[in-house]
Structure 1
Amino acid sequence: MTALVYAPLEAPLWPLMNKFYRAHQSSMKAVKDAQLWVARQEDIIAGLCLRPLAHGHWLTGLFVAPALRGKGVAGELVRHAVSSCEGPVWLFCDPELQGFYEKLGFCLDVELPHALHERLVRYQRNKAMIAMGVTTPSYPAPDQETVPR
């Protein structure tokens, strides 16, 4: 089996991220002002967006192809992407995902930029949502770009 590669998606290839999301009926969208990160074998099997915000980044759009869930792909993709950032990284998630993100170093006791706090309050009107964050200078960088699978 081909090794998994975790890397930023170059700007000319950004339409592939939205194609990946659509192929799996995900409502997520890649945004132009973000760093797009993917896990690939030959095709994209997972992706996420890191949007610059305030003095850090907002992690959105984490999605793994359903057939490959539970194999550590999401965690490795988050580790690679977050280790490339300077400053804090924030995310919103369903409370059921708290343990997953805590294993990656994220915590609940997070100070959000004003714009993110307002967005969280709006989101919480319609569904359960928590904010988590990690400070990247203490975040361990992955040892390598490719991981054999």
Structure 2
Amino acid sequence: MRSMSVLPDGCVIRQATPSDIWSIRFLVLRAKLDPTQIRWQQFWVIECSGDIVACGQLRDYSGVKELGSLFVVPAWRRRGLGSILTQHLISSCDQPLYLECLGQRLANFYSHFGFYPVTWKELPRSLQRKFRVSQLAKTLRIVPVVFMHYRES
């Protein structure tokens, strides 16, 4: 697992508030991420000098959670914000944790935190329903989707 980085000066990590919803929606759409379940209550953000520069959420499903919508504004990348937010979301989770990512590069990123690839059949039923379209795209080789589960090391 990666060591916890330090936030840059002037930055804080915090739970989202109702006033953050439009900034979160903008970031999720800008990143072309899954726009379903954009509920501010599920999000954590990194705010730097008054601007939200990163976000991520823990989506609730029956008995499990999904880490999703992780995005860092391009101008703020390569400063460890994605790692800090990922580690924070993992430590905030109190149920089995899963995610889906596109491509091996992202799968490699998440593997540093204790996520490992799982097959479609290994996913909980509630996530199979959610990831049904992704699985079809993967089967048809349209999209390189990787499903992952978190295991504490």
TM-score (norm 2): 0.75
8 Å Cα contact 1:3/1:41 also seen in 2: yes
Offset, 1:33: 7.4
Number of matched pairs: 135
> What is the aligned counterpart of 1:6 among 10, 13, 16?
13
Offset, 1:59: 1.3
8 Å Cα contact 1:7/1:81 also seen in 2: no
> What is the aligned counterpart of 2:32 among 20, 27, 30?
27
> What is the aligned counterpart of 2:109 among 85, 94, 100?
100
> What is the aligned counterpart of 2:135 among 124, 133, 137?
124
Q: Unmatched 5+ residue regions in structure 1?
A: 140-149
Alpha carbons of structure 1 residues 94 and 7: separation in structure 2 relative to 1, 3 Å: same
SS of residue in 2 equivalent to 1:107: strand
Matched residues in 2 for 1:94 and 1:117: separation?
A: 16
8 Å Cα contact 1:14/1:36 also seen in 2: no
Aligned equivalent of 1:81: 89
Aligned equivalent of 1:38: 45
Map Cα deviations across residues 12-38 of structure 1 (whole Å, 9 max, x no partner). 43222113445xx33334612751111
Task: Select between 104-113 and 71-80 the one with higher mean Cα deviation.
Answer: 104-113
Offset, 1:86: 0.2
- Identity fraction in percent: 27
8 Å Cα contact 1:58/1:91 also seen in 2: yes
> Does the alignment pair 1:134 with 2:150?
yes
Question: Residue 85 of structure 2 aligns to which amino acid in structure 1?
Answer: L
Q: Unmatched 5+ residue regions in structure 2?
A: 1-7, 138-142
TM-score (norm 1): 0.77
